[in-house]
Amino acid sequence: MSLLLKRLSPIKQSYSKVLAIRTMSIPSTQYGFFYNKASGLNLKKDLPVNKPGAGQLLLKVDAVGLCHSDLHVLYEGLDCGDNYVMGHEIAGTVAELGEEVSEFAVGDRVACVGPNGCGLCKHCLTGNDNVCTKSFLDWFGLGYNGGYEQFLLVKRPRNLVKIPDNVTSEEAAAITDAVLTPYHAIKSAGVGPASNILIIGAGGLGGNAIQVAKAFGAKVTVLDKKDKARDQAKAFGADQVYSELPDSVLPGSFSACFDFVSVQATYDLCQKYCEPKGTIVPVGLGATSLNINLADLDLREITVKGSFWGTLMDLREAFELAAQGKVKPNVAHAPLSELPKYMEKLRAGGYEGRVVFNP
């Protein structure tokens, strides 16, 4: 018997090691901010920590960013479903693996690709997972549970990207939206070294758009009425920065115009200053609808292009830029318990950049 036990001991130790690397110490309940249409966003201290099933993993949330989209849901009628934990800019550490998950290990630092594509539809299979129709309103923190909690069950680990070693979790959380969104818009518009572009609105997303566009080699002109935003634009490397476009900037000057405000007045500026065959990308959500001068659009063959968040590949590429030091989001830190205070501050226009919370 003793000989048999000796022979079984290495097997037992090996099995224990396998179990150890598939999980870390995890509580049964947690606190988080839960959204309900009837009652709004509320702190709950008894949310369950769900155990991952086959093909799933559990993420320990290390950092989660606050976004204007949260305000659109809470105060402006944006309908992204009901009964879920908000917070869609998420970075964390893999805490537990379900069966059949082999591409990640416990302890890996990863970030979530917000649109949470299904991985099986034609859009996902062609690299356009940001417009996956099967995952519509199953987005992290917007329809499906997000990062305003301590642990997040990830149903589709394909929508996780490993974070480079020299990028902090707080920066990574901000990159998942505040960099990813302008990155996708600029990339999809074909911006490159020959491009001369206009960026309207140099706040959070617009400021990061400047960095991305400069990394792509473009000449960048920025328009913003706020002194602080213009100062930031200069620091990020914009070639020209204005509160109003001067007469020396002629209509039809820009190969692409990116509108991070997207109200009628800013869109009209984009169409006026976009060159023939140029591209206008209304990235912001300042207005739900805009009037377009269709005759002018047709005459000069201008393209108006929608742009939503970003893809899995886009996030990988955005992380590469961050690792190379070409993009660095402006990030402030706060404990998650202070989320309501910062939401009110954001609503009042109290800061530029991203506030990232640590649960």
pLDDT digit string, tens, across residues 82-128: 999 999 999 999 999 999 999 999 999 999 999 999 999 999 999 99
Mean pLDDT over the full length of the chain: 92
pLDDT of 188 higher than 90: yes
Out of 260, 284, 304, pick the residue that ends a domain.
Answer: 304
Give the residue-averaged pLDDT of 351-356. 80
Q: Is residue 147 part of a domain?
A: yes
Give the residue-averaged pLDDT of 135-155. 96
Quick one: CA torsion of 80, 162, 169, 226, rounded to 10 degrees? Answer: -60
Give the residue-averaged pLDDT of 43-72. 96
Please give the structure tokens belonging to residue 76. Answer: 């402006």
pLDDT band at 17 (very low <50, low <70, confident <90, very high): very low
pLDDT band at 24 (very low <50, low <70, confident <90, very high): confident
Q: What is the pLDDT of residue 22?
A: 63
- The C-alpha atoms of residue 160 and residue 92 are separated, in whole angstroms, by 10
pLDDT digit string, tens, across residues 29-43: 999 999 999 999 999
Note whether 220 and 322 are same-domain residues. Answer: no
Q: The CATH number of the domain where 319 resides is what?
A: 3.90.180.10
Note whether 46 and 168 are same-domain residues. Answer: yes
Note whether 203 and 161 are same-domain residues. Answer: no
**Please, what is the Cα angle at 263 between 255 and 117, to 5 degrees?**
75
* AA letter at 22: R
Out of 304, 325, 348, pick the residue that ends a domain.
Answer: 304
Q: Is residue 36 part of a domain?
A: yes
CA 50 to chain centre: 24
pLDDT band at 331 (very low <50, low <70, confident <90, very high): very high
Note whether 333 and 230 are same-domain residues. Answer: no
Quick one: CA torsion of 273, 226, 88, 109, rounded to 10 degrees? Answer: 100
Note whether 295 and 344 are same-domain residues. Answer: no
- The C-alpha atoms of residue 208 and residue 182 are separated, in whole angstroms, by 7
Note whether 146 and 260 are same-domain residues. Answer: no
Yes or no: say if 221 and 242 are a contact pair by the CB < 8 Å rule. yes
Q: Is residue 11 part of a domain?
A: no
Q: Which domain holds residue 34?
A: 20-178+310-358
pTM for the model stands at 0.91
Q: Is residue 228 part of a domain?
A: yes
Judged by average pLDDT, the poorest of 56-60, 183-187, 203-207 is: 203-207
- The C-alpha atoms of residue 229 and residue 251 are separated, in whole angstroms, by 24
For residue 329, count CB atoms less than 10 angstroms from its CB and return exposed for 0-12, middle for 13-18, buried for 19 or more.
buried
Note whether 57 and 199 are same-domain residues. Answer: no
Note whether 25 and 170 are same-domain residues. Answer: yes
**Please, what is the Cα angle at 351 between 267 and 148, to 5 degrees?**
100
pLDDT band at 172 (very low <50, low <70, confident <90, very high): very high
Q: The CATH number of the domain where 243 resides is what?
A: 3.40.50.720
pLDDT band at 76 (very low <50, low <70, confident <90, very high): confident
Q: Is residue 3 part of a domain?
A: no
Give the residue-averaged pLDDT of 347-351. 79
Out of 266, 285, 304, pick the residue that ends a domain.
Answer: 304
Note whether 114 and 197 are same-domain residues. Answer: no
Q: Is residue 5 part of a domain?
A: no
Give the residue-averaged pLDDT of 203-208. 92
Note whether 276 and 249 are same-domain residues. Answer: yes
Note whether 300 and 316 are same-domain residues. Answer: no
Smallest CA-to-CA distance from 105 within 64, 62, 150, 157 is with 157
Q: 3-class secondary structure for the chain?
A: CHHHHHHHHHHHHHHHHHHHCCECCCCCEEEEEEEECCCEEEEEEEEECCCCCCCCEEEEEEEEECCHHHHHHHHCCCCCCCCEECCCEEEEEEEEECCCCCCCCCCCEEEECCCCCCCCCHHHHCCCHHHCCCCCCCEECEEECCCCECEEEECCHHHEEECCCCCCHHHHHHHHHHHHHHHHHHHHCCCCCCCEEEEECCCHHHHHHHHHHHHCCCEEEEECCCHHHHHHHHHCCCCEEECCCCCCCCCCCEEEEEECCCCHHHHHHHHHHEEEEEEEEECCCCCCCCCCCHHHHHHCCCEECCCCCCCHHHHHHHHHHHHCCCCCCCEEEEEHHHHHHHHHHHHCCCCCCEEEEEC
Q: Is residue 318 part of a domain?
A: yes
pLDDT of 20 higher than 50: no
Smallest CA-to-CA distance from 189 within 264, 122, 274 is with 274
pLDDT digit string, tens, across residues 208-243: 999 999 999 999 999 999 999 999 999 999 999 999
pLDDT band at 163 (very low <50, low <70, confident <90, very high): very high
CB half-sphere exposure, 321, CA atoms < 13 A? 26
In total, how many domains does the chain have? 2
Note whether 228 and 154 are same-domain residues. Answer: no
Q: Is residue 1 part of a domain?
A: no
CB half-sphere exposure, 282, CA atoms < 13 A? 22
